[in-house]
Amino acid sequence: MLETGIKSRIVEELEKIVGSEYVSTNKADLYIYSQDMTPAEQVWPDVTVLPDSLEQLRAIVALANKEKVPLNPYVAGGNIGGVAIPLKGGILVDLKRMDRILEVNDTDMYALVEPGVTFGILKAYLDKHHPDLMYTYAFSPPSTGVVTNALLQGLDNISFRYGAASNWVSGLEVLLATGELVRIGSCAVSNVWQALVPMPELAGLFLGWQGTTGIITKMAVSLWPNPKHSAGLHFQTKDLDGAYKLLKVISRTRIPDDLIGTSFALNKVSMLAMAHKKASLYPAVTPGPGEPEFTISADISGNTENELKAKLKVIEEVVNGLKDDSIVVPEPTPSSKAAFPMQALAVLSGGGGLMWVGCYGPMSTWLETAIKGCELQDKYDLSRSCYTRVMNEGHFVGLRWMIPYDKGDPEMVKRISDCCDEQLDMVLENGYIPYKTPVWAVRKIEERASPELLELHRKVKKMLDPNNILNPGRWGVPQE
């Protein structure tokens, strides 16, 4: 909490920069920014400001750096990790007004966007102006920020092919806490933002850092040809062992665009949500007699119908090669691509809350980790809600147990928090590392990381943000 005198001065300066209409100290605004869908502790910013341009943003950052006041970038706040909660208060910079799509390069297949551009805005723009190109979308609402999703290394619906969202960043413009504006990638030396290579890959100073080392003011992200033909295959398995076999064997074909798995119990609960009813995981719903434990879904595309058919045929052959009578190759259904970005109804219908231990880890320990995570849900009488996505053609896996919950029910909040605590310890034991990492998980990761790595984090943070103003309290926290 800022001292009254400093706060008044800062508010006055902010109003000069963006106009009083776009500065708020009203408690209603600050209350909304003090929290997110998770049970993370509420922390209120002192003031929120909504810049419309790079010039305004630069002036805000200069002010914060001069006054040594925390400055927290924000777009939609839907990260399920408390990442946008201003841990030390200060200025919350809501970037939603900086929402311009600056360029779509059809030949080089990238979009250059400002930080406020959402999945929805980009989808609408591409549909209208570049229908042959597509972006990839997360299992999240349309209001999700394109830049923040990439910055936080999210997993999207072509992550099977290309890995985490930070992998398709092809250029960055970053505003440092000290005021410098830096371009990284080909854009640093030309007007084309086609790739980060071949230069020292300084993007790593910013990607995955949760806005603690700089504010992204422009980002180029890859686009892909929109496939003309696509289909979905939904396998059902009686146990997680069967799911594991399928994930491995389908991964090795390198065929799908997307390969995910979900607990069948989560699907059952989701049916309520789809009917606009409250979806509670408690008490646990278990699969009935003959019902599967898990669903594996592969999204497949082709330039021609023949290519699509050939790909489906290959999947059929490798799955039949498992010689497991319990796994039946399903009939293809329409691809789920068209539904993205989606309302993500099911996981947002628990009563305002959504929590998970979401992590990336090796395929080699997937089965053990998935089973233990589900067993912990059993322990807390929660429906199994495992969700997994194979990344980068099987080189690693995204895994989480999605827990919608009622924020107005303290007993439920405690139940899910305790469950997630145990799941976090378990996944770390199994080599899985939380992504979009909540601060409580950052601290646990730091306990396991080498002191040398933590020192490097601190040095990077100190170099780029000497006054520790950018989203402080997360990665690279100065040593006490």
Partner 1 sequence: MTLNDVKEWLYGCSHCGTCKDVLGIFVPSCPAGERFQLESYYPSGQVFIARAVYEGTLSLADDDLRDRIYACTGCLSCQQQCGVYHRDHIFEIVEALRAEAVTQGFLNPAYMVLIDSLKREDNVFGKPKSERGDWAEGLGLKDASKEETDVLYHAGCMLSFEPELWEVPRSVISIMKAAGVDVGIMGKEENCCGGRLYEIGYLGEFTKYAEHSIETFNSIGVSKVITSCSDGYATFKNLYQQVDIKKKFEALHVVEYIDQLIKEGKLKLTKEVPMKVTYHDPCHLGRHMGEAGVYDPPRDILNSIPGVELVEMPRSRENSWCCGAGGGVSQSDPEFAMWTANERLKEAKATGATALVTSCSWCERNFKDAIEEYGIDIEVYDIAEIVRKAI
- Per CB under 8 A, residues contacting partner 1 are 21-22, 24, 26-29, 31-33, 36-37, 48, 50, 76-78, 94, 96-97, 118, 120-121, 123-124, 141-144, 273, 276-279, 343-345, 348-349, 351-354, 406-409
Give the number of other CB atoms < 10 A from CB of residue 202: 16
Q: Toward partner 1, which CB reaches closer, 340 or 380?
A: 340
* Residue 380 in tokens: 């807390």
Minimum Å distance from CB 126 to partner 1?
A: 11
- Distance, in Å, from the CA atom of 457 to the CA atom of 445, rounded to the nearest integer, reads 13
Minimum Å distance from CB 356 to partner 1?
A: 13
Q: Toward partner 1, which CB reaches closer, 116 or 256?
A: 116
Q: Toward partner 1, which CB reaches closer, 33 or 209?
A: 33
Q: Toward partner 1, which CB reaches closer, 96 or 238?
A: 96
Give the strands of the sheet with 71-74, arranged side by side.
23-24, 47-49, 91-94, 71-74
Minimum Å distance from CB 107 to partner 1?
A: 25
Minimum Å distance from CB 317 to partner 1?
A: 37
Give the number of other CB atoms < 10 A from CB of residue 345: 16
Q: Toward partner 1, which CB reaches closer, 36 or 393?
A: 36
Rounded to the nearest 10 degrees, what angle do helices 4-18 and 54-67 cross at?
160
Minimum Å distance from CB 141 to partner 1?
A: 4
Minimum Å distance from CB 144 to partner 1?
A: 8
Q: Toward partner 1, which CB reaches closer, 119 or 380?
A: 119
| Gyration radius of the chain's alpha carbons | 23
Question: SS3 for 22?
Answer: helix
Q: Toward partner 1, which CB reaches closer, 248 or 407?
A: 407
Minimum Å distance from CB 344 to partner 1?
A: 7
Owner of token pair 């059993």: 378
- The H or E element containing residue 278 is none
